[in-house]
Structure 1
């Protein structure tokens, strides 16, 4: 997420608007070309692209289904990881209660700061500088909490405390790496560009195959539905922005603040 591509930086609303304009435009261009061709050669009135258009639309449907499945599975994975992280942090907070007051107070103070950094990590949205900063701060706090726990384990004769907290703390730290990797696992730009080109080429050939007057109701309806489908795919693939986001799951981490009251 440190280096976003141009496509990832572009708003999903902008992508949808541009695609809508391009589909309409290339349909009209295709229709213009076939009309001009018929004027020059009336024999083209019998020219049909039915089989080609059918194959192209079938391919478009396949790619749409494929990319939607990719985006949906990645979204579900990210959502589950946020919930898992909230559970891991909550477990660590609860298990600090078995420590002496001095150590418990130190651990909970750092854990409270850690929770704030993890909340800030998500709430930074598409501001990558803030996101990276919060991630680094959380990493430093995680190491500090680990050091406090490890130092105490060396002098603690009651190994139950260490055996309870260390695995939970290890899971809390490890899941941040897993979550970061999941957030960076987006649909490859090459696949998305291929999908955009397929939409545009389909629109052009459909326009080229239409030798009658343009039915604007059908054209607008087709364009809107295709654009909305692509918009949903793009939006699913960007959990930090857009209509489909991680606000709900992230509330589970925000609720951890109540454990320090």
Structure 2
């Protein structure tokens, strides 16, 4: 299931099949095995309404979780751009000898952060993460050496700025790993399956009404796939574009 929710398009196809089968099972097998009498239909309508209401609440709650995580990833992208841009300017406070080297490392680091947001390939992501870790070590070593050589309040500003650069990268990493739990997906899909089963079970005889019973599988599959798309940082169409990092990179190219 974890692989499915990482690929929303595949999830949509799988859910259409799963929920369509559930509706068909209710219409074909349950209606034959346990015919629904007119006396029992009122109770059935109450149970079906409660089940659909519970499903709607779960979908709404999960959508809220996905949107909040998406917003968090966007906010951290902005914070990363601000931290890198601030440290690039503060690098001049360290000294004429170290500043060019730190700025060059920050420019390389900025490109790696842009690549991190853009890539979809797992192997490329591992390479980017390894290079990022190495660059972070070099950046910290450079400001650390300057701070030990000249422990002044001005140098402390550059050290603090570099600390912000490293921290925001960690926050971003954590935000991209923070996904909707698989157990929540399992619960939603189980309730959605039962809801579609009941939808088919309650469908009445005419062809038009039986066709309408497949509206619920399609709408629920679309809703869950949308949630998975928003919640998936790399697998979906709705992604965080590093507009602030790209804008910063363009502005750095104009600085002396």
Per the TM alignment, residue 36 of structure 1 is displaced from its structure 2 partner at its CA by 2.2
CA contact (8 A) 1:118 1:135 kept: no
Tell me if 1:169 matches 2:156. no
The Cα offsets for residues 16-49 of structure 1, whole Å up to 9 and x where unpaired, read as 12112222221121111244247xx7x8354321
Gaps of 5+ in 1: none
CA contact (8 A) 2:93 2:155 kept: no
The aligned counterpart of 1:219 is 213
The aligned counterpart of 2:185 is 192
Normalised to the residue count of structure 2, the TM-score between the two structures is 0.89
The aligned counterpart of 1:233 is 227
Tell me if 1:88 matches 2:88. no
- Where does structure 1 differ by over 4 angstroms across 4 or more consecutive aligned residues? none
The Cα offsets for residues 197-241 of structure 1, whole Å up to 9 and x where unpaired, read as 211110111111223224256334333322221111111111223
Tell me if 1:75 matches 2:67. no
Per the TM alignment, residue 136 of structure 1 is displaced from its structure 2 partner at its CA by 2.2
CA contact (8 A) 1:97 1:104 kept: yes
Report the CA distance shift for 1:27/1:5 in structure 2 as closer, same or farther (over 3 A). Answer: closer
The aligned counterpart of 2:40 is 47
Instruction: Tell me how far apart the structure 2 counterparts of residues 260 and 140 of structure 1 sit (CA, whole Å).
Output: 23
Tell me if 1:255 matches 2:238. no
CA contact (8 A) 2:147 2:156 kept: no
Gaps of 5+ in 2: none
CA contact (8 A) 2:22 2:197 kept: yes
Instruction: Tell me how far apart the structure 2 counterparts of residues 196 and 65 of structure 1 sit (CA, whole Å).
Output: 14
CA contact (8 A) 1:37 1:44 kept: no
The aligned counterpart of 2:145 is 151
Instruction: Tell me how far apart the structure 1 counterparts of residues 53 and 2 of structure 2 sit (CA, whole Å).
Output: 29
2:3 to 6, 9, 19: 6
Between 134-143 and 87-96, report the one with greater CA deviation: 134-143
2:175 to 182, 189, 201: 182
Secondary structure in structure 2 of the residue aligned to 1:47 = helix
Number of aligned residues: 250
The aligned counterpart of 1:132 is 126
Secondary structure in structure 1 of the residue aligned to 2:233 = coil
Normalised to the residue count of structure 1, the TM-score between the two structures is 0.87
Cα RMSD, aligned residues only = 2.1
2:112 to 94, 112, 117: 117
